[in-house]
């Protein structure tokens, strides 16, 4: 059978075959080993020039690596949205800063 990473890449390939405008990836690398995660992240990076990709993740390091923009949501509310580098290095909201620094959540 296929490994978890291979299965994930196959699902993404099937999805892009129909040329959607937006890809929604919900925790695309959960339960994958670091090598498989890297391959998925490389694929996401390659595809983001052709598709709008929305990733739902709790993995902040991954969000920082692959995203151009990041939204921080808490309890169903949008707390902050902006350029990924700015959001992670100089968030506008204290609640965002508290979350990314591990003070709560």
Residue 1 lies in a domain: yes
CA–CA dist 16, 62 (Å, integer)? 21
Q: In total, how many domains does the chain have? A: 2
pTM for the whole structure: 0.84
pLDDT band at 104 (very low <50, low <70, confident <90, very high): confident
**End-to-end Cα separation, the chain, in angstroms:** 37
Q: Across-strand partners of 69?
A: 83
> What would the pLDDT profile of 19-47 be if each residue is shown by its tens digit?
999 999 999 999 889 999 999 999 999 99
CATH of the domain at 5: 3.40.50.300
SS3 (DSSP) at 52 = strand
Q: Across-strand partners of 78?
A: 73
Mark whether 46 and 74 lie in a shared domain: no
Residue 63 lies in a domain: no
Task: Find the domain containing 10 and state its range.
Answer: 1-58
């Amino acid at each position: 059978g296929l490994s978890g990473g291979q299965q994930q890449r196959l699902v993404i390939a099937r999805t892009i075959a129909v040329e959607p405008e937006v890809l929604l990836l919900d925790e695309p690398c959960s339960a994958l080993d670091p090598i498989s995660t890297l391959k998925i992240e490389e694929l996401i990076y390659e595809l983001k020039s052709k598709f709008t990709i929305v990733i739902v993740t709790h993995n902040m390091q991954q969000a920082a690596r692959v995203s151009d923009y990041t939204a921080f949501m808490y309890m169903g509310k949008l707390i902050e949205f902006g350029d990924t580098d700015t959001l992670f290095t100089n968030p506008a909201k204290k609640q965002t800063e508290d979350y990314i620094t591990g003070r709560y959540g």
